[in-house]
Amino acid sequence: MSAAQSGRAVVTPVERPRRLRTTPALRRLVAQTRVCPADLVLPVFVREGIDAPTPIASMPGVVQHTRDSLRQAAHEATEAGVGGLMLFGVPTPEHKDAEGSWGTRADGILNLALEDLRADLGDATVLMSDLCLDEFTDHGHCGVLDDQGRVDNDATLQRYADMAVVQARAGAHVVGPSGMMDGQVAVVRAALDGAGFQDVGVLAYTAKYASAYYGPFREAVGSSLQGDRKTYQQDPANATESLRELRLDLAEGADLVMVKPALPYLDVLRQVADLADVPVAAYQVSGEYAQIEAAAAQGWLERDRTVLESLTAIRRAGAQVVLTYYAVHAARLLGR
């Protein structure tokens, strides 16, 4: 009995989108978004005063490095074709104080590690450094405090200016001011130029939200923060504010702009990417990593597919560069 005889209408689709999905080769040919190892930046932690790499419980597979193990890891990441590294320093508790002094000392852990990697790798990769005080302050805030205990924007800017010059001197190609102080990009740019580092770039944390997704990172850097960062990081409820931050960062001389976290903020990323005339980055943060790892460990998500899909989504939403703890793993999955 034919469909007509049975009384069912015969509908022949006018268009058949499935045609382009027929074979793997066709799907590959028409894929609109690609993720390449060179797009990925690996965030790394280097900790002072340890003899061996130390696992971070809430980020399975990620460690706090010694200076030596970081050199090895940086070499491997470069070999894998990863586009760059973003360094975070973890000083000993004795090297934390109210001003974050060890962030601006040439013998502070972050600056020593930058020196190591620049000596080993030269210009073979892009060395980026976190330009923020939170890892170095005993109160854990991203800036210095006033006598009321509030984060003092303009006093912090002076610290960032010093930090930028020290990091550039130590070998950073790009500095990443992540403290969300008003005016930070302009101050950092002026300090770098004033010290003769015109070619050191600024990756501006343009839209950085006060996010629960940074939870595991706080363990990774041994953060001593009491309270929260809501007076300087953005309210997750706001999108338009990111466009204001973008306008300011571009005017102040940002070379790249970043949205962070990534996956929960793809709408913000898309809006920023539509307006920015510089490369846009996004940071798949510690909590995004931990979510995938936790579900994969339970057998609830396929790790590799989830990793590649999340990175593809971040690229599709407009990020040219993605900071991800999966950078090396993903680079190996993707091949060169």
Residues with a known catalytic role? 208, 260
- Which among 103-111, 113-121, 129-137, 240-248 is the span making contact with ligand PBG, rule CB under 6 A? 129-137
Run of H or E including 45: strand 40-47
Q: What angle do CA 135, 90, 249 make, to 5 degrees?
A: 45
Least distance from C-beta 180 to ligand PBG, angstroms? 8
Q: Which is nearer to ligand PBG, 39 or 130 (by Cβ)?
A: 130
Examine residue 48 and tell whether it contacts ligand PBG (CB under 6 A): no
- Both tokens of 151, joined, read 């984060």
Which residue is at the shortest CB distance from ligand PBG?
217
Asked if 195 contacts 165 with a C-beta cutoff of 8 angstroms, the reply is yes
Backbone angles phi, psi at 3, to 5 degrees: -60, -40
Q: Which of these ranges, 73-81, 97-105, 128-136, 183-191, lies near ligand PBG under the rule CB under 6 A? A: 128-136
Contact with ligand PBG (CB under 6 A): which of 136, 214, 265, 326? 214
> What distances in angstroms separate CA 81 from CA 75, 76, 102, 104, 242, one per listed residue?
10, 9, 32, 31, 31
Q: Does 197 bind ligand PBG (CB under 6 A)?
A: no
Q: Smallest distance from the beta carbon of 287 to ligand PBG, in angstroms?
A: 6
Contact yes or no for 120/144 (Cβ under 8 A) = no
178 is a site residue for ligand PBG (CB under 6 A):
yes
Write the DSSP assignment of 208-273 as a string of letters. EB--GGGHHHHHHTT----S--TTTSBPTT-SHHHHHHHHHHHHHT-SEEEEESSGGGHHHHHHHH
Q: Which of 286, 307, 315, 326: binder of ligand PBG (CB under 6 A)?
A: 286
Minimum distance of ligand PBG from residue 29's CB (angstroms): 35
Q: Is there binding between residue 217 and ligand PBG (CB under 6 A)?
A: yes
Q: Could you tell me the smallest distance in angstroms from the CB atom of residue 79 to ligand PBG?
A: 24
